[in-house]
Copies of this chain bind each other. A is one copy, B any other.
Amino acid sequence: MGTARVVFDRWDGRYAERLGSVRSSAVRDLFAAASRSDMISFAGGMPEVRQVPTEAVAEAARDAILHEGAAALQYGSSDGRPQLRTIIVELMAEIGVRLGADELVVTAGAQQGLDLLAKTFLDPGDVIITEGPTYVGALQAFSAYQPQVICIPMDDDGMRVDLLADELARLGPRGAKFIYTIPNFQNPGGVTLTPERRRRLLELAREYDIPVIEDDPYGRLRFEGGHVKPLRALDDEVIYLGTFSKIFAPGLRLGWMTAPRPILAKVLLTKQAADLCGSAFAQVTAERYFTGTRWRKVLQGLTRTYAERRDVMLEALDEHFPPEARWTRPEGGFFVWVELPEFLDANAMLAEAVENGVTFVPGDGFFPDERGCNCMRLAFCYASPDDIREGVARLASVLEDRLELYRAFIAAGAISGGLREEGAA
């Protein structure tokens, strides 16, 4: 999965040990492939920024720079501009979280938040808990600090908190440095943690005295069902990661972290060491863009677009995919998670899929170990409805070829059918 061309490396053996645990992101590697014009991409979780009005952003940038002057071009404070932090406080209030502007720091996307938290908390060998599968970028950020990652399986109601309880009982109080969760429209699972399980997760975290990191990039992209309060709204010790990438645009690299003040002070030290401060230029532009109400209409339009694409993908999967496949039905976000018979290797299928003009992300990238090889993440956020129909059909034909062999084996009694049980390690 490496991005590097194979070249002689005369510095081999002199890199930090941590690089042995850092894998290149399959998602990132595929962004290049996805940019081929004939390719239908279910790979990268790229927002449909073509719907963000370019001229509005252009005017926001121009007006903000003219208005802010030198402040837009200068170094700023490490925690971010007060004006943008005020906007973030309002955004958080809309999802039920009350906090002060001094309880958050502006980051370079939520990804930087993940890196800084790992840097703040993790020594080599430390235990952390995540959902399994989980966001590949989180695994990448965490792995640089060499933790032991324990994955808790999910079902349609999100993380299996009963299995979390078992794991915590085994580990004991403070037995993990943190629990990392994406409760809304999980990446890559597509499932949402129910309100009951949210409360239970927080009870367990309190009982075992383990910080919770809530990563919520997709929370405002709900297609149906009622808003579910974030964990941070239920417990003010929860560390919350937000991002402008999905409600505005990833190209500004703006996100935020809220955390209890002592933790935030430590994170700020790591932020200074990482890049001194965030981009004032991007921040003033975001401030201007989020003044007024147009951004809400754009976001509503985006959400409708994603909802339509989700519908089209689920219909196409129902129509084309074989009975041996199982997939999630997300109520929001970007992703459907497909599980195939264990016999099938999604990585092997990917090469064939690319030949057929469609990409996806094989499931093993979303686990810290060898699991997930029989799974794939399909992003419905970026392709057009027609392309989604066509892409799913293409993918189904690749699948069908592989399944013929599988069915022959089943018929011969050589292997047992069915999907691997969830919860099995």
Contact = CB atoms under 8 A, between A and B. Distances in A.
A177 B31 CA distance: 33
B274 A141 contact: yes
Contacts of A70: 49-50, 52, 54
A73 B141 contact: no
Nearest to A210: B14
A424 to B, nearest CB: 29
Point out which of A251, A265, A268, A274 has the most chain B C-beta atoms below 10 A from its C-beta: A251
Interface stretch (A60-68, A87-95, A393-401, A407-415): A60-68
Given A7-B262, A281-B285, A74 B57 contact: no
Point out which of A18, A143, A177, A253 has the most chain B C-beta atoms below 10 A from its C-beta: A253
Contact of A59 (B24, B62, B121): B62
A253 B279 contact: yes
Point out which of A115, A270, A273 has the most chain B C-beta atoms below 10 A from its C-beta: A273
How many identical chains are in the complex? 2
Contact of A7 (B63, B112, B126, B261): B261
A171 interface: no
Interface string A155-178: 000000000000000000010010
Nearest to A261: B7
Interface stretch (A75-83, A316-324, A337-345): A75-83
- Interface size class on chain A is 35 or more
Interface of A: 2-5, 7-12, 14-19, 22-25, 28, 31-32, 44, 46-47, 49-50, 52, 54-55, 57-59, 61-63, 65-66, 69-78, 108-109, 111-112, 115, 119-123, 126, 137, 140-141, 143-145, 174, 177, 211, 245, 249-253, 260-263, 265-266, 268-270, 272-282, 285
Q: Which 4 pairs show the lowest CB-CB distances between chains A and B?
A: A4-B265, A9-B262, A73-B249, A251-B280
